[in-house]
Every structure is written in C-alpha cells, then in structure tokens.
Amino acid sequence: SATQTEIAAHDAAGESQGLFDDEAHQGAFKVLRQTFGPAPTAAGRTAGTEPASLMKRLVDALGIDRGEWPTSLLRQLWEDLVQFEAGRRISAQHEARWLNLAGYALRPGYGLAVDDWRVAETWKLLHGKLMFGTPACRAESFILWRRIAGGLTAGQQLALATPLIGSVRQGLRQASGKAKGADFGSNPHESAEVLRLLGACELLPLSVKHDVGELLLDLLHRPRFAALHAAALWAMGRVGARRLVAGPLNGVVAPELAARWLIRLMKVDSTEPLAPFAVMQLARKTGDRYRDIDESSRNSVIAWLSRANAPQRYHQLVREVGALESEDQSLIFGESLPKGLRIQ
C-alpha cells in the first residue's frame, strides 16, 4: 500500500488539515512514554502517570480538546502507541487504556494515506492476542475493532463476527432455558460492545447479516435483555441500513427483508431513544429501487415515526433522498468522527 501511495497521490479530507505542530506532538509522545514506556513494574512508575489519567494528560500536553485533534495527529499517536505496544502488558488497566486510545487514534480505519497498512498492522498486533482476559480489556478490544471496522477486510470482519454471533445465539438460548453456561449478557457493558461491533461489520456476507438481524430482533423482544436494547437498536440500524457507512452497494440487505424487519422493529417500545433511529436507517430513501423499501412500508414507517415523536429530519430522510446532519453522522458511526471526515 505504501508503494501504491507513491505511485498515485492520495487525496482525502484527512490530508487537507495539514500536519500538527511537532513540538506539541513531542509533548504527547512524552506522556505516552511515561505511561507505556519501559519500567520495572507498574508499581514502580512515577506518580501521575497512571492509565486512568492518560487522556487528560494528553489534552494538557496538546492544548486542545480531544474532539479537535486532527486526523494527522491521531495517526501520529497511533504510531507512538505501536512503538510502546509492549506497555499494554504492564497491567490490565494499561492494556485497556492502550486499546482505547489506539482505536480512537485510528478511527474510522480509513481516510488518510496508508490507513489500510495501519489497520493491517493493528490486526497483526492484536487479533487473538489480548494479554489480560478481563471484561474491561475484552470490551475495549471490541470497541477498537468497531471503531476501525471500515478499514477491515471482509475476511477480518467475518473472523471477528463468527465467534461473537455464536456467543449471542448461545446467550439467547440460555435465556430460553435451552442452553447453559453462556457468557453473553452476564456483563452488560461488554455484551453491548459485542452487539455494536456486529453492527459495524458491513462487509459480512448477506446470509450472515440475515442471522445477525434475526438475533438482534429476538433480543429486542426480550425484557431480560433490556440493558442491551439500546446497543441492539443501534446495531440493527447498521445491519439493515439502506446506506452503508463504508460498505459496497451489494452489501445492503434486500429491501424485502428490511421491510419484514421493520414490521417487527416497529413493535419495539417506541420510547426507546434509538428506536426511531433504527427504523429510519432501514427505511431511509436512497433513490435506488434496488435498495428502497416499497411505498406501503414507507407510509407505515412515516406514520410510526409520527406516533413516536421522532425528529422531523428522520421523517424527511424517509420521505426523500437527503444528506445527514453532523449529529446523525456521529450517531451512525457511534461517536464523533475525526475532524474533516464525513459519511453520507
């Protein structure tokens, strides 16, 4: 990928921001070295360099809020973290914070030259190689992969999703008394991140997306999993979306399937804050007859959105082809995008 970048200039929103001041970056590098650099033991480190305070110390060193960090700076921080990758072995807290910042620095996995190489290197370093099996570390690993899912290959997404789908299915069977010993659902935070990661894997085969959608709808109709309903609704909105964030047109589930899912989705408690979002995603108008739901389903959705007091922009996106507002982009992605990057 580096060779190809030299042959054809890469032009993306990330590059237009230019380079960040090197002196400020060196301050951030020092903070990362203090936290993840070589030291005899975690207990022997200098006071004030604990992982819990890392983001605050980085903000202080850079002088700007983390939401304002340009993509070029974020990728520099990713390179620094890779240099100090051994530091995640110090303790479970170090690994959780390292994973969190690495995913934040590389999100959304594309947008800057050689991001494909960066994602590939991250895969080599991390897939199947957690140092600590704590719920926090597992959850942070799911967050990392969800954040950079747009840069993963179809094979990588499938490798991540397959065991997670099995875990969710087993958890649902356990709740029905048909299986025992399932871990899914025992930790709401970790389980929610499993669902969100599944929703972000847009390159999964359509047959697998069908399975994921059915599992999510099953979960949404079970009061026992009420703590996971918000994550399931967000994931449902991504799995059945008429417009994908980074996936190809042939990765969109058939409109007939989306219409059937909508019938069940609109039976979910409409007071769930993300229910209108999920419904809008499955019914959003694209102007492409191969992706758009039928008019009868569209009218039912518009009536449901009115009853649910959904934002007017949701009504408009279902009625006609339109662009997302910035807050909708952040909601679809799952958090704010780096400065200069947009989704449609």
Most confident of 13-22, 47-56, 102-111, 328-337: 102-111
Structure-token match 């982009």, residue found: 329
Q: Confirm if 84 and 32 have CB atoms less than 8 A apart.
A: yes
pLDDT tens digits for range 163-205:
999 999 999 998 766 555 458 888 999 999 999 999 999 999 9
Tell me what pLDDT residue 75 has: 96
Q: To the nearest whole percent, how much of the chain has pLDDT over 70?
A: 88
Residue 324 carries which side chain, given as an amino acid letter?
A: L
Tell me what pLDDT residue 19 has: 53
330, pLDDT greater than 90: no
Region 304-318: what's the mean pLDDT? 95
Min mean pLDDT across 35-44, 92-101, 113-122 is at 35-44
What are the DSSP calls for 143-175, one per residue?
HHHHHTGGGS-HHHHHHHHHHHHHHHHHHHHHH
Q: Mean pLDDT of all residues in the chain?
A: 89
Longest C-alpha distance within the chain, in Å?
Answer: 67
Q: To the nearest whole percent, how much of the chain has pLDDT over 90?
A: 76
pLDDT tens digits for range 89-105:
999 999 999 999 999 99
Residue 115 carries which side chain, given as an amino acid letter?
A: D
238, pLDDT greater than 50: yes
Tell me what pLDDT residue 182 has: 53
Q: Which residue has the higher pLDDT, 47 or 33?
A: 33
Residue 334 backbone phi and psi in degrees, to 5: 110, -10
Tell me what pLDDT residue 3 has: 39
Cβ atoms within 10 A of the Cβ of 142, count? 25
Q: How confident is the model at residue 44 (pLDDT cuts 50, 70, 90)?
A: low
Tell me what pLDDT residue 217 has: 98
Report the interhelical angle of 206-220 vs 154-175 (nearest 10°): 30
Give the contacts of 39 (CB within 8 A, at least 6 positions apart): 45, 90
For residue 108, cis peptide bond before it (omega within 30 degrees of 0) = yes
pLDDT tens digits for range 217-228:
999 999 999 999
